[in-house]
A and B are shown apart, each in its own frame.
Chain A
Amino acid sequence: MSVAFSLPDSRWRAGEIAFWVAAALVYVIFPSDLVLASQVLITGLFALSLDLILGYAGIVSLGHAAMFGTGAYTAGILARHGWGEPLTGLVAAGLAAAAVAFVTSFIALRGADLTRLMVTLGIGLLLYETANQAAEWTGGVDGLSDMQVRDLFGVFPFDIRGRTAYLYTLAVVFLVFCVARRIVHSPFGLSLRGIRESPRRMAAIGSPVQRRLVAVYTIAGAIAGIAGALLAQTTQFVGLEVLGFSRSADLLIMLVLGGAGWLYGGLVGSALFLVAQSRLSRLNPVYWQFWLGLLLVLAVFFAPGGITGAIAARWQKGGRR
């Protein structure tokens, strides 16, 4: 990984603008695939939140679904008990997930990599079991249904073909992405990358390492919670699997295939992963798992930076000429 120790150039590049225009054009070009497209954006946002802690701050988490699930259940339970206004629901979900992330960060960020891995995994499993047990609130294994999400701005109803859902998701994801982009390009974001490269040196030059990590973990938690709430509101259903281990593991896979430490890595990875999954698992879910496993093994050996990592490396070379 090449590290430039100056504030990154934060101007929007042409490729980025093209990316978001393309995302908007999906609405026109693939009107029958909007449900999948919304899933891609939501999962991409979730992957972006993991990228903040993994790609930028260097924390490997195997339990990031804990925050996603907290957000999904918060939005779901609110909508079920009469608070169906989507935007305030999103905010509430983000706050709840940020609270969970903040509280757990103090235990999750202790120790070395392996301990962190285990503690994040443990917290994820604990929340899963809690949701499973609190069936009165969460619906347990059956999931949480009959949510009543109100019309967006009181005008646009969430239709069955997912048109409102897609535009709503796209707008929220874009806004949150801009916030994340701003964070990454700020001195705070630069200090996170410094911590990823060498926590000791950052501490030695006076950076409050632990506080920075808690802060980014909390921010990432809030973003993951918003992604979870988006999923709950647009599908009007929350199942236990929002907290499952495989959601955390798949997320890690997407992010790494897309390229960690690169803002678009999560979105690209999620698009590739979900489209491939929806095509291939139609043939046979078992084969999908096999090929996914093989792809991971090959990626570790041959493409350590992921797909967008390779593109980024090329871009940087071009830029330095």
Chain B
Amino acid sequence: MLSALPGVLFDGVAYGSLLFLISIGLSITLGLMNFINLAHGAFAMVGGYVCVVSTLRLGLPFGVALVAAFAAAAIAGAVLERLLYRRLYGRSPLDQVLFTIGLTFMSIAAATWIFGSGQQPVRLPESLLGQTRVLGVDVGVYRLFLIGIVLALASGLALLVTRTRFGARIRASVDDARTSAGLGIDVDRVFSVTFTLGSGLAGLGGALGIDVLGLDPTFPLKYMVYFLLVVVVGGAGTIVGTLAAAMVLGIFDVAGKYYVPSAGAFVIYALMVVLLLLFPRGLLRRAR
């Protein structure tokens, strides 16, 4: 049992990386505008389908497909933000929940209509298949690749947020949107840009995740709980908190399914309730 532990941990980290990639946009938009976006998974699904169409129907290389997935989800995010989301900032949580559930339902129906209800296959490049040995543990090359990409992106995001002027604007707006606006920061624009970026990252995560999470029209509902969970446990608006929460959840979910398969999804839901009770304001409690 214990001999499998390193492998399980590794898979958990790979899974957690995906959760992080998809959830980070949700975390920042939630922190910025207190907007409860249950439709966030739909952007990841858009990325996934764009990746499938580009690789299998258009025959594009995997790398190009990933870029296309990012771009498509980002554009979808930008358009919807401008047309619809923007009008609901400051409305009650109930309105936001209903609006985004409606959007999720429409995305599921549309995906079923266009692609059918089955699981989508994915064709990974040869170089990402197979196993390799790292520190004496057999690991999948693709999962290693995933972790690598996510680490790179997470460091990039951390630099963006902590070292650039735009990052400073994001942090200021998350801390206190009103005061920031008073100081001349265009909070609406900051939000549009982060929403677009977050949707794009979700799309990229959806594309990268086909091999791990699967892809079918129910994707936005199936993983909605996970994304929300990462954000709520991690504490909205923080990169480090989101990363930590994603890793904890990823590892526990994979380990739970491996060691106590009969419990099914029980482990993750129980963990969620416990974590929420212990850390009602996120793992890294932000002083306010």
Contact = CB atoms under 8 A, between A and B. Distances in A.
Interface in B225-264: 225, 228-229, 232, 236, 262-264
A289 B98 contact: no
A160 to B, nearest CB: 33
Contacts of B113: 286, 290
Contacts of B102: 292-297, 299-300
B280 interface: yes
B229 A118 contact: yes
A122 interface: yes
Given A113-B93, A118-B229, A287 B109 contact: yes
Contacts of B97: 60, 62, 117, 252
Contacts of B112: 286
Interface stretch (A129-137, A144-152, A201-209, A227-235): A129-137
A125 B264 CA distance: 12
A276 interface: no
B101 interface: yes
Nearest to B280: A111
Contacts of A294: 102, 106
A302 to B, nearest CB: 11
Contacts of B228: 118, 121
Nearest to B263: A133
Interface majority SS (helix, strand, loop, mixed), chain A? helix
A110 B277 contact: yes
Contacts of B232: 114-115, 118
B193 to A, nearest CB: 23
Contacts of A300: 88, 91, 95, 98-99, 102
Contacts of B199: none
A286 B110 CA distance: 8
B287 interface: no
Interface string A271-285: 000000000000000
Interface string B99-140: 101111111111011000000000000000000000000000
Nearest to A125: B269
Interface in A100-129: 107, 110-111, 113-115, 117-119, 121-123, 125-126, 129
A199 interface: no
A143 interface: no
B277 A293 contact: no
A110 B278 CA distance: 11
Contact of B106 (A115, A290, A304): A290
B101 to A, nearest CB: 6
Contacts of B101: 249, 252-253, 293, 296
Interface string A30-74: 000000000000000000000000100000101000000000000
Given A121-B228, A297-B103, A300-B99, 13 more contacts: A115-B232, A117-B36, A125-B265, A130-B266, A133-B263, A286-B112, A289-B108, A290-B110, A293-B103, A296-B99, A297-B84, A297-B102, A300-B95
